[in-house]
Amino acid sequence: MLYMVIERFKPGCAEAVYRRFGERGRMAPEGLRYLSSWVDFEFARCFQVMEADDETLLAAWIAHWDDLVEFEVVPVRTSSEAATVMAGRR
């Protein structure tokens, strides 16, 4: 399953996020895979695509960061998967 993770850095915490990442890495549990990410120009939000077979792995990962970041997790599918689903409805 794919997840779009929208991270909102808490006010004044962007530097601390990057410091922790530099020191400890992503801290994702085994089975949670990072695919790609984008950061806005204000260093206020990060948009990450993660993959996992078990959604509970996201909670374990978030626990390492929730003092610095607020998270929104949205299960997503690829555009081609969406097209296949919609084609079946015609």
Residue-range definition of the domain harbouring residue 30: 2-87
Q: Are 48 and 7 in contact (CB under 8 A)?
A: yes
- How many folded domains does the chain comprise? 1
Q: How far apart are CA 35 and CA 2, in angstroms?
A: 9
Q: CATH no. for residue 13?
A: 3.30.70
pLDDT by residue for the chain (90 residues), tens only, comes to: 999 999 999 999 999 999 999 999 999 999 999 999 999 999 999 999 999 999 999 999 999 999 999 999 999 999 999 999 999 887
C-alpha 4/C-alpha 49 separation (Å) is 5
